[in-house]
Every structure is written in structure tokens, then in C-alpha cells.
Amino acid sequence: MVLARALMAPPTYAKTCAACHGLQFDKRFAEGAPHDTPVVIHAFLLQEFTQYIAAHPAEARESLPVPGLPQKPQPVALRVLTPQQWVTERVAESEQLLYGKTCRQCHQIDFAPAAALPVVGKSNITPRWMPHANFNHDRHQMVVCTECHAALTSRETSDILMPGIATCEKCHHSGKDAAEARCFECHTYHDWTKAKEMKGKLTLSGLGE
């Protein structure tokens, strides 16, 4: 059984991650890709690049370096693409950046044989660190967060900033002026969701006999 307010809301990309981990995909755009499925991202990239090349048709003419001696001026070779070719190449480059680097920071990326788009696994975020205990942050708002969580000294993203029982015992102990320290303060012992329905057979008068 989980008591009300015992769990914290899981972090979301928009509220927790986006400020530092952007989804930029091309220097031509300040806006990043949406944090969504590969199908939605692909449609977004197609739209953005299609609109861009329509407004900047000259960019379909690309200059290519010509191998030669560095001390001599080299001719410039031009490659002229159709708008569709240009869009296709830019989308492929952007998806290679996103799925080959950016998205991999949090997600497992798998490409099925002959699949155009990858399968992106859900980020592996632990929903509940103390599965056998109920903790209510509302009841601890008078305490500074860093008294229990070593956030100021953490340097690695792999750090688990969950306090151990020794931290809890600084307040919850049997001494004078201590907070309640009996087991039921944090723990429950029965999963009432698995309780079986019972049909009572006793009467109040019979209990006194």
C-alpha cells in the first residue's frame, strides 16, 4: 500500500532535462527537435527543412572542395541538388546526429533490419527507490534539502543521492525531543490490494461469550 504523497512525480524532459540537454539538430535552426517518437521527429524535420529550402533556394547549390596542391588556387566544384534531394540529405544528417549521439545519452536506440527509423527505449528512471517504505516530503519541509541529500558535493550523474537510515536516525530515534521512531512511521507490512474478500460469520453478541 502506498500512502498519499508518499511518492514524488517522476522527472519529465520538458521540466527537468530540456534546460541543459537540448535537441538541436542543425545550425540553421535555433529550435530543437521535439522530444517525441521517431515518426513525429521525422515529420518535424521534413517540414522544417522543406520550409527552409523554399525560403533559401540558393543553398541547394553546394560548393565542393577539389583535391590538389595546397599552394595553388583550386577551382570550386558545384553540386546542384533538387529541393527534395537537399531535404532528404539534411534530414538524414540530423537523424544521424540525434539517434547516434544526442538521444543515446538517455535512451537505448535500436535499429531493426531494413527499418528506416529506430526503436527508442524508455529512459531507465527508477520510479521508487524505497519500495518498502512510505516517505512524505511535505512533513519534512522544515528541513533544508541538503541535510538529507548530498547534492552540493555530487559530481557524477551516476550518483544516487538517496539518504540511508543513518540520516533518518538523526531525527528519528528514541532519545529526548526526537521524532517518532517506531517502525510504522515509515513502513507498512501488508499489501492490502491482495486482500481476499471475507464473509463474516460472527455476531457482536457472540463475540462477548
- Where do the domains of the chain lie? 13-120, 129-195
Determine how many CB atoms are found less than 10 A away from the CB of residue 86: 21
For residue 34, what pLDDT is reported?
A: 96
CA distances from 59 to 34, 79, 81, 172 (A): 25, 10, 9, 68
For residue 137, what pLDDT is reported?
A: 83
Backbone angles phi, psi at 48, to 5 degrees: -65, -45
For residue 67, what pLDDT is reported?
A: 65
∠ Cα 145 147 149 (to 5°): 65
For residue 147, what pLDDT is reported?
A: 92
Q: Which residues in the chain come in under a pLDDT of 70?
A: 1-6, 64-76, 208-209
- pLDDT tens digits, 2-41: 666 667 777 889 998 899 899 999 999 999 999 999 999 9
Residue whose C-alpha is closest to residue 186's, from 136, 138, 133: 133
pTM of the model: 0.66
